[in-house]
Structure 1
Amino acid sequence: MKSRLWKAAACLALVSSGAAAQTSVTMYGRLDGGIEYLNHIANGTGGSSSRWSAEGGDWGTSMWGLKGNEDLGGGLSAVFDLETAIQIMNGTTGGGRLWSRRAYVGVNSKTWGQLQAGRNLFIDSDGVWEFDPFVQQAVSSASLVRGRNWQQTSNNVEYHSPVFHGFDVQGQYAFGNQPGAFNSGAQGEFGRSDGIMLTYHSPMLDVRGIYDELRSQDGKLDNIFQASREYFVGANLKIDKWKVQAAYTHYAAPDSPVGVADTADHYWLGATYQMTPAWALTAAGFYIRVGEGSGDAAHDPASHAMLYALGTTYNFSKRTFLYGTVAYVRNSANGTFSVFATPRDAEPSTSPMAGESQTGAYIGMMHVF
C-alpha cells in the first residue's frame, strides 16, 4: 500500500512540475505616494488659489496586475494580462472598473508576433512614454495636451510584430460595438478608434512614428485634446551617461464645431543625465500651439504655452526610489494650460485663469513589485 502511495505521489509531483514548467502566472505592480504643491488654480470666482496635498501617482500610476503565459508548443504561447490602477491615498481602484488599464488575452508566436484582444492602453499611450523625458509623470508630455496621450480603450484587437533588424510594428483597432452606429461607443467609452506604430531601436538611436484616431463616444473627431487624429514622431539619442529625447505631434479634429480651433502642434526636447548609478537628473521643455479659432467650455481657443520641468530620481534599490519634480508653465493671453494634464472641462480643475502662469512641484517614493 505504501509503495502505491509513493508511486502516486511521485506521478503527481511529475505532472505538477511539468505544468509549472509550461505555464507561469506573475503578480506585479507599483505603489507611488507623496506630497504635491500647486499655485494659481482658478477658483471660479475670478481669483486663484494654491494648495498643498497628499497625492498618489505623481511619478507614475500606482497599479496592480496579473500576467501569464502557457507554452502551446511549436513556438506558440497563450498570454494574458489583467491590470488596474490604484489610488493609494484613498484605496480606490480603476474608476469603477475591476481592470481599468489592461484586460486582454492573446497568442504569441516567436516567428509571427502577438495577436491579442481586450482592453488596453490606447496605442499612443503605449508608445509615447518611451520618448518622453518625464515618462508621462503628472508633469510630462501629457500636460499641455490635457491627457490626450494617456488614454485607454476597450474592445481592442491588436497585433505586435517580432523585431526584424531593429524594426517592429504595432497596430490597434478598437470597435465601438454599437448597433447601427459603427463609429460610436457605449456610454463612458470612446468610439471606434485605431492606430499604427512603427519603431526602430538600436543601442544609440531609437525612432518611432505613430498615426492614430481617437473618437468620441459619438464617433466624432471633434476635440483636439479629447477626440482627434494624431501624427507623432519621436527620437531618443543615447550617448554615454546622457539620453536626449525630442518629439513632435500634430493633432487635428475636423468634426469640431464651426469656428472652434481644430488643430494643435506639440513639441518637446529634454535630456536625462545619469550622475551616478543611483542618481539621475532630467530637464525638459514642452511647447503647445493651438491653431486659429475660438474656444468654449470643452475646447481650447487659439493660444500657446511653454512648460519647463526639472526632476530627479534616487534609487535605493532596483525596486525602490525617491523622486522630485518642479515645473513652471507660461501661458499666452488665452491659454489656460496647467502643469498637470487637466481636461479643459474637468471638475475639479487644476487650470489657471487665462493668461496666468503656474508653478507645481511634488516629491514622493515609488516601490515596484
Structure 2
Amino acid sequence: MYGRVDGGIEYLNHVANGAGGNSTRWSAEGGDWGTSMWGLKGVEDLGGGMSAVFTLETALQIMNGRTGGDRMFSRRAYAGLNSKTWGQIQAGRNLFIDSDGVWEFDPFVQEAVSSASLVRGRNWQQTSNNVEYHSPVFHGFDVQGQYAFGNQPGAFNSGAPGEFGRSEGIMLTYHSPLLDVRGIYDELRDQNGRLSNIFSSSREYFVGANLKVDKFKVQAAYTHYAAPDSPAGVADSADHYWLGATYQATPQWAVTAAGFYIHVGEGAGDASHDPASHATLYALGTTYNFTKRTFLYGTVAYVRNSANGTFSVFATPRNADVSTSPLAGESQTGAYVGMMHIF
C-alpha cells in the first residue's frame, strides 16, 4: 500500500467571471504540487525470472474527499507479467503514454503550474482498455508502447460516453548519468474516434532532454500538436516549447525556474477550440524537504497572452464548467504554497 497527500493555499487573479469582468480568487487546494493518491501494488514470483504484477491507484482531492472522476481507481488499474529478459506486458487502465513520459522532462514535474498549463492538460490524461509493453533497458535505451481500445461494436475508433476513443503511442528513451533524451509519438482520439481538438484529441510529437551537471539539472522540450479532424476554419495545430533548470542548493532545498511558450496556428476558435494565439508562462518554485517523505513547496507564476489568448497559469480546458482562464489578451498571476507527505 502506498500514496501521497498534498494540500495548501492558492492565489489567482484575473479570472474571467462570466459578466465581462475578472475576479481574484483565494482558495484551499489539494494537489497543486502533485496529485494526492492512494494505491495498492504487488508482485508474485512465478519462477524463471518471471513475475505477475498488479497496480490499483486512484487520485484523491483531500479538500472534499472525492476520488478522481468519482472512479474507484482513476489513475491505474492493471495486471501484467514481467520478465527480466523480455520486459513487461500489462492490460487495464493507466496514464496515457505522454502523461507517463513528459513529467520526467518537465522542470515543474507536472505540477498545477507546469508543461500542462499552456496545453490545457493535454499531456496529463488517462485512458482505459490499455494494452502496454515496456522493454528492458539495453545499453541505456528502452521502449514503451501503449494501445487503448475503444471497445465499441461497429465503431472501432470510437469510445464509450465520457471516454477517449481508440488511442495509441510509442516512447523511446535514452538514460545516462549526464544526459536523458526521450521521444514520443501518440494519438489521443475523442469519443467519436476523431482527432478534433489540438488540446484534447490530437496527434503529438514530443522530444525532450535533461542535462545533469553538478547541482544543476537543465530541461528542455518541444512538442507539436496536430488535429486534422478539427472543424473547418478552426486552428488545428500548435507548437509548445519550454526551458528550465533546477538548482539543488542543499540535500533539503531546491529552486526551479522555467519558461513555457505556446503558439497556436492560424484559424478561428470557439467554445472548445483555441484560436490562433500565443502565450508565455514564467514560473519560479522551491521545495524544502524535512524528511524523505515530507516536504514544503511554493510556486509563483505569470502568464502573458496575445490578443486572442485566454491561457491560464493552470491547465483549464477551454470549455471547462469551472474555468481559471482570464479574458482574451489578459495576463494572469498565480501562486500556491503547501505540503506533500508520501507514505
1:224 and 2:198 correspond:
yes
2:120 aligns with one of 146, 152, 156? 146
Scaled by the length of structure 2, the TM-score of the pair is: 1.00
1:127 aligns to what?
101
Paired residue secondary structure (1:144): helix
| Pairwise CA distance, 1:96 | 1.7
1:213 and 2:213 correspond:
no
Alignment of 1:57-72 (within 5 A): 57-72=31-46
Paired residue secondary structure (2:183): strand
* 1:232-257 Cα deviation digits (max 9, x unpaired): 00000000000000000000000000
1:281 and 2:281 correspond:
no
Paired residue secondary structure (1:124): helix
Paired residue secondary structure (1:127): helix
Paired residue secondary structure (1:216): coil
1:33 aligns to what?
7
**Separation in 1, partners of 2:181, 2:90:** 25
Alignment of 1:306-325 (within 5 A): 306-325=280-299
2:152 aligns with one of 178, 190, 203? 178
Number of residue-to-residue matches in the alignment: 343
**Separation in 1, partners of 2:266, 2:39:** 43
2:240 aligns to what?
266
| Pairwise CA distance, 1:95 | 1.5
Paired residue secondary structure (2:124): coil
* 1:241-286 Cα deviation digits (max 9, x unpaired): 0000000000000000000000000000000000111000000000
1:188 aligns to what?
162
* 1:154-202 Cα deviation digits (max 9, x unpaired): 0000000000000000000000000000000001100000000000000
Identify, as 1 or 2, the structure richer in helix: 1
Please, which moves more after superposition, 253-262 or 86-95? 86-95
Paired residue secondary structure (2:100): helix
Alignment of 1:340-359 (within 5 A): 340-359=314-333
**Separation in 1, partners of 2:93, 2:173:** 22
**Separation in 2, partners of 1:131, 1:283:** 14
| Pairwise CA distance, 1:142 | 0.1
1:44 aligns to what?
18
**Separation in 1, partners of 2:107, 2:70:** 31
**Separation in 1, partners of 2:59, 2:177:** 32
- TM-align CA RMSD: 0.3
* Unpaired segments ≥5 residues, structure 2: none
1:252 aligns to what?
226
2:72 aligns to what?
98
Paired residue secondary structure (2:118): helix
**Separation in 2, partners of 1:95, 1:155:** 17
The runs of at least 4 consecutive aligned structure 1 residues that moved more than 6 Å come to: none
**Separation in 2, partners of 1:87, 1:344:** 22
| Pairwise CA distance, 1:94 | 2.2
Q: Percent identity?
A: 87
* 1:130-158 Cα deviation digits (max 9, x unpaired): 00000000000000000000000000000
Which residue identity lines up with residue 120 of structure 1 in the other structure?
N
**Separation in 2, partners of 1:74, 1:330:** 57
1:107 aligns to what?
81
The structure that has the greater radius of gyration is 1
Which residue identity lines up with residue 358 of structure 1 in the other structure?
Q
Paired residue secondary structure (1:149): helix
**Separation in 2, partners of 1:364, 1:42:** 25
